[in-house]
Amino acid sequence: MLPVLENLALDLADNGILTITVNRPSKLNALSFATLDDLTQAMQLAQDDQRVRGIIFTGAGEKAFVAGADIAELAQLDESQARRAAERGQQVFCLIEESTKPVIAAVNGFALGGGCELAMACHFRIASENARFGQPEVNLGLIPGYGGTQRLTQLIGKGKALELMMTADMIKADEALRLGLVNYVVPQAELLDFTRQLLSRILTKAPLAVGLVIDSVNAYFDKERHGYQTEANCFARCCLSDDFHEGTQAFLEKRPAAFTGK
């Protein structure tokens, strides 16, 4: 039984795909502090529940994935509270980025501010044709605080990231695709089906290996870790796994592999 969360809708399909829908359509799914708490609970559940094999994030309705943070809440913060709020948001989004189960954002409209940051924390992004992306915080006298300055730079490069954050410009889905911010652009009516099909393909692969790909790639951007050494360690760990033996045996026997994630 999945928990009932005030700001998220959770749906677990028989194939192990957990769809997490930010469910505040009257606020264009803006990220309140309570929503961040719900996101934490949902990600902890996703990691702990053996039924969950992969995760999709999307937003309720057709207008917005997540249109930003809850500005009314931000306007009340003093310096100390603001720092804690940013650190809290960063912590939540790192749970998503560091998930060993694959996480895809199905971006179905506006992904602005905290919404763009949420999408970027996912392992990659599929956008509907009406999706719009941006980090407009400078319009409010702010900067991105939930990891946006770091992840946008990683994804599209320093020059373009600085331009988008300093001008607060929104970009359309086709521009996001050209810049490498998203992997695919599809009609909105096809967005969730396309994302589910792509995630289902990933779920046919060895779960341990998929998780260690995520860990190794994340190590590239972590100053505390050595990317090449992490890769070597993960490679060695794979070679000790049941999935490795099953995968190689299945290849030699010319049959589909039956992976167990062990």
Supply the residues annotated as catalytic: 117, 137
Burial class (CB in 10 A: 0-12, 13-18, 19+), 103: buried
Q: 168: closest CA among 117, 133, 126?
A: 133
Query: What token pair was written down for 153?
Result: 């730079």
Distance, in Å, from the CA atom of 198 to the CA atom of 157, rounded to the nearest integer, reads 26
From the list 247, 163, 237, 162, the residue with the least C-alpha distance to 205 is 247
CA distance linking residue 58 with residue 20, whole number of Å: 6
Count the neighbouring beta carbons within 10 Å of the beta carbon of residue 97: 17
Instruction: Give CA torsion, residues 164, 165, 166, 169, to 10 deg.
Output: 50
Alpha-carbon distance of 262 to 247, in angstroms, equals: 12
